[in-house]
Amino acid sequence: MQQTCDLLIVGGGVMGCSIAHALATRGAGKILILEKRYLGAGSSGKSGAIIRQHYSTPLTARMAQASLRTFERFDEIVGGPPVFTRTGLAIVVAEKDRAALETNVAMQQGLGIQTKMVSAGELMGLDANVHLEADEAACWEAEAGYVEAPVVLNSWAEAARRKGAEFCEGVEVLKLHVEKQRVAGVETNEGVIATRTLILTTGPWAARLPQAVGVKLPVNACRTQVALFRKPVGMSRRSATFGDFAQGIYFKPTHGDMIHAGSIAGEEANDVVDPDHYNEAADDAFLKSIRERLSRRYPGMYRCHGRGGYGALYAITPDWHPILDRLPGIEGAYAAVGFSGHGFKMSPSVGQLMAELILDGQAASFDVSPLRFSRFEENALIKVPHSYGVMG
Ligand SMILES: Cc1cc2nc3c(=O)[nH]c(=O)nc-3n(C[C@H](O)[C@H](O)[C@H](O)COP(=O)(O)OP(=O)(O)OC[C@H]3O[C@@H](n4cnc5c(N)ncnc54)[C@H](O)[C@@H]3O)c2cc1C
């Protein structure tokens, strides 16, 4: 392992890998990525990795839109195998939220996103498994789908390595070294490494390292759960991805005729956990509740086979939006953290934006000032104007 580097990234999740690739592509210098366990050990390796552009704010919709273009051609742009499966995405809301849904759809259409309101009959034509109640409304985003999360990380890391970046797994950063309000390096379980540029992509662990140098990052580690079900005989093999706000669940097809499903009702969002010691199993009550809700939307799933599930982590900020910024008061320190359960789909844009911020002094592709760190103390949290909920 190098003892000095130009740019040091802490955290080998999707953000660390994307930023490493973006920096290496621009020939930024000697890049070192330190990961305390293995690439994808945090949220990224367990992610549903649904790629949709359906958001309530133009900034996040545009970041997702630009990122989708990369995921669609990931093999050509980055290397490795193709990663994207297009399924289309339905957002379903209760009738009382129809106007909010229509407003969001109109905003997204204004950005060039292929989305439209659909009737129950039209939705059944797109996914024969679905049932919509009379008091529910839906829209359809044709371009959405999901990616293979571990393949994305692997391909970005491989491509960054080919451009000279070094990835070290099993190396934990224990402490940041700051001299005269400037980054000087880090202390790890394998010794000290000197650097003048540090990027934190530490996911649910984000608050820890800055706290010891006097910076309070408002990022909480919270548990979330995933349930897996095998489709029964007789159901259409073809399935769309759903953000089912009427029932507070999301689900998507996955390998082996399985459905990956989880909650979007935020039941565990206020329970802060220790990201090194949390329950990685799924609760029986959770599996039962998701199965019931899924079966109301997909009646064929009443006969499905449960395949268990798992516990994972979200890194949640007070407004459920990430922080893309410098760390205040420490020159040379940056953070891309707090993706609050919906970061995977933005990761290509995050890599590009952070490379611009670090190398050019300013993120130019989009105005990301709403995602600044100081918004929390300025009481300028991002407000979602027409929200029926948050979806990962
Ligand atoms: C179950 C689940 C489903 C999701 N579904 C979706 C979805 O459908 N669509 C979507 O867009 N997003 C989704 N998300 C969110 C998305 O996966 C995350 O926003 C994204 O993966 C965050 O990536 P990250 O790189 O910031 O963090 P992480 O992947 O958590 O990576 C952080 C890494 O930092 C390492 N680390 C921490 N501290 C240190 C240290 N001191 N030294 C060295 N290494 C350290 C950790 O080991 C970890 O590997 C989902 C998340 C979960 C958990």
Question: 7-46+149-217+319-375: which CATH number, 3.40.1790.10, 3.50.50.60, 3.40.120.10, 3.60.110.10?
Answer: 3.50.50.60
Sheet harboring 166-169: ordered strands across?
166-169, 31-35, 7-10, 198-200, 333-337, 323-326
Q: How confident is the model at residue 375 (pLDDT cuts 50, 70, 90)?
A: very high
* CATH superfamily entry for domain 88-144+220-316: D-Amino Acid Oxidase, subunit A, domain 2 (3.30.9.10)
The residues spanned by each domain of the chain are 7-46+149-217+319-375, 88-144+220-316
Residue 314 Cα to ligand 1 middle (Å): 7
Residue 136 Cα to ligand 1 middle (Å): 33
What pLDDT, in 10s, does the model give residues 187-236?
999 999 999 999 999 999 999 999 999 999 999 999 999 999 999 998 98
Residue 338 Cα to ligand 1 middle (Å): 9
Q: Report in angstroms the alpha-carbon separations of 359 from 19, 286, 349.
A: 12, 45, 15
CB 20 within 8 A of CB 157: yes
* Pick from 209, 179, 184: nearest CA to 11: 209
Q: Are strands 136-141 and 173-179 parallel, antiparallel or unpaired?
A: unpaired
7-46+149-217+319-375 and 88-144+220-316, same CATH topology: no
Question: What was the pLDDT predicted at 270?
Answer: 92
What pLDDT, in 10s, does the model give residues 231-273?
999 898 889 999 999 999 999 999 999 999 999 988 999 999 9
H or E segment to which residue 92 belongs: strand 89-94
CB 349 within 8 A of CB 318: no
199-208 b/e (C-beta count within 10 Å ≥ 16 → b):
bbbbbbbbbb
Q: Is 12 in the pocket of ligand 1 (CB under 6 A)?
A: yes
- On the CB side of 258, CA atoms within 13 Å amount to 14
Q: Is 321 in the pocket of ligand 1 (CB under 6 A)?
A: no
Q: How confident is the model at residue 390 (pLDDT cuts 50, 70, 90)?
A: low
Q: Report which protein residue has its CA nearest ligand 1's atom 48.
A: 42
Q: Could you give the percent of the chain with pLDDT greater than 90?
A: 95
Residue 29 Cα to ligand 1 middle (Å): 25
Least confident interval from 212-226, 303-317, 378-392? 378-392
Contacts 24+ apart (CB under 8 A), 364-370: 365/66, 366/59, 366/62, 366/63, 366/66, 367/59, 368/59, 368/324, 370/57, 370/59, 370/321
Question: What was the pLDDT predicted at 384?
Answer: 83
pLDDT(392) > 60: no
Q: Is 354 in the pocket of ligand 1 (CB under 6 A)?
A: no
End-to-end CA distance of the chain: 35
Whether the model pTM is above 0.95: yes
Question: What was the pLDDT predicted at 385?
Answer: 72
Q: Report in angstroms the alpha-carbon separations of 163 from 83, 157, 159, 166.
A: 21, 10, 7, 9
Rg from Cα positions in the chain: 21
What pLDDT, in 10s, does the model give residues 83-106?
999 999 999 999 999 999 999 999
Q: Residue 348: CB partners within 8 Å, gap ≥ 6?
A: 18, 66, 67, 70, 71
Question: What was the pLDDT predicted at 334?
Answer: 98
Pocket test for ligand 1, best of 68, 83, 84, 202 (most atoms within 8 A of CB): 202
Measured between alpha carbons, how far is 35 from 52 in angstroms, rounded to an integer? 28
What pLDDT, in 10s, does the model give residues 29-73?
999 999 999 999 999 999 999 999 999 999 999 999 999 999 999
Residue 254 Cα to ligand 1 middle (Å): 20
- Main-chain phi, psi angles of 208, to 5 degrees: -65, -60
Residue 47 Cα to ligand 1 middle (Å): 8
Q: Report in angstroms the alpha-carbon separations of 62 from 112, 348, 349, 386.
A: 10, 12, 9, 17
Q: Is 167 in the pocket of ligand 1 (CB under 6 A)?
A: no
Q: Is 330 in the pocket of ligand 1 (CB under 6 A)?
A: no
pLDDT(2) > 90: no
Q: Residue 380: CB partners within 8 Å, gap ≥ 6?
A: 370, 374
Question: What was the pLDDT predicted at 391?
Answer: 60
Q: What is the mean pLDDT of the chain?
A: 96
